[in-house]
Amino acid sequence: MHVKTAGGGKPAGCGRASSSLHGPPATAGPAPAFVNGARALYPACDKKHHHPRQESRMSPTDIEPPSSVPPVSQRIRARLEAAGVRFHANDNIADHIEPGELDALQAEVAQQMQRVLESLVIDTRNDHNTRDTARRVSKMFIREVFRGRYVPIPSSTEFPNVERLNELMIIGPITVRSACSHHLCPIMGRAWVGVLPSEHSNLIGLSKYVRLIDWIMTRPQIQEEAVTQIADLLMDKLQPDGLAVVLEADHFCMHWRGVKDDHAKMTNSVMRGAFLRDANLRREFLALMNKGD
């Protein structure tokens, strides 16, 4: 036999008071219970009468506040500021990046790059050419064209100057690739290094010049600062009597945009030690540097 309960199918005494035909109104029950943060519809009877209505199924993430952990870029920035370390576009910050953070930074940059594409009104969801562009650009920035900001200086074995070499040697042309820090457009060019060792100088393998210069150049740069950074690094590692660095490059911020001059190049140099004092040494370096052209 089926018995219809008062209140449209709810057991008497649950929820609203039962009809006066069935007796006096029900007395107020205990305060409504909460299940997983949600108010139960019929709190007084859910357990006692096994009401068929299902409890609210809310996952912990539905009721917990958003994570308070700041993005990895903010954590790295806070570390740099606390240490009083400069972090301009062409500075290396590898000493302040903890293990695993570079992967997290790459993922964060991909998220921000996706927002840039959306703000450019590019339909990355339906355009197969740009569907994965944000991830590719993030990887390119962090792991390739700007990696000189995020990885430690390349290791280089230094050898004593056993033969007490004190003659000019020239390394180059070395291919250089970078991006201007103003527009992030490519910089493509060549570098030459002239070294006048002292008897106390350290000597490094020829390939290490290429690796060290690449480490400096794979950051957003301006050429005037890049050539000085290269000279400072080599002076510190080699301790020579003299050092000369010449950098010649095409700037795509002029070729591709702006004045759109395809033929303009920029050439600059830094002279240290004996190269500053001895005009004949400078002329010898410049003559030998241009001999291959």
139 shares its domain with 171: no
Closest CA to 102 of 138, 132, 56, 59: 138
Helix (H) or strand (E) holding 176: strand 169-180
Helix (H) or strand (E) holding 136: helix 133-139
Average per-residue pLDDT for the chain: 84
Q: Enter the pTM of the model.
A: 0.75
Domain count, the chain: 3
137 shares its domain with 250: no
3-12, 127-136, 240-249: least confidently modelled range: 3-12
Look at residues 149, 177, 193 and tell me which one is the last residue of a structural domain. 149
Contact 233, 276 (CB under 8 A): no
165 shares its domain with 276: yes
Domain extent at residue 121: 72-149
Q: Domain containing 178 — which CATH number?
A: 3.30.1130.10
Distance in angstroms (rounded) separating the CA atoms of residues 20 and 16: 12
What are 144-157's pLDDT values in tens digits?
999 999 999 999 88
What are 180-235's pLDDT values in tens digits?
999 999 999 999 999 999 988 889 999 999 999 999 999 999 999 999 999 999 99
- Strand order across the beta sheet in which 169-180 lies: 220-221, 169-180, 186-196, 242-251, 266-273
98 shares its domain with 43: no
**Residue 275: pLDDT over 50:** yes
225 shares its domain with 251: yes
192 shares its domain with 274: yes
Handedness of CA 191, 192, 198, 200 (dihedral sign): positive
Q: For residue 35, what are its two tokens?
A: 């299940």
Distance in angstroms (rounded) separating the CA atoms of residues 41 and 43: 6
139 shares its domain with 76: yes
Is residue 288 exposed (0-12), middle (13-18) or buried (19+ Cβ within 10 Å)?
middle
Q: For residue 119, what are its two tokens?
A: 């703000």
Look at residues 149, 168, 202 and tell me which one is the last residue of a structural domain. 149
What's the confidence (pLDDT) of residue 42? 39
CB within 8 A of 52, min separation 6: which ones? none
Look at residues 63, 82, 107 and tell me which one is the last residue of a structural domain. 63
Q: For residue 233, what are its two tokens?
A: 């690094």
Q: For residue 64, what are its two tokens?
A: 């917990």
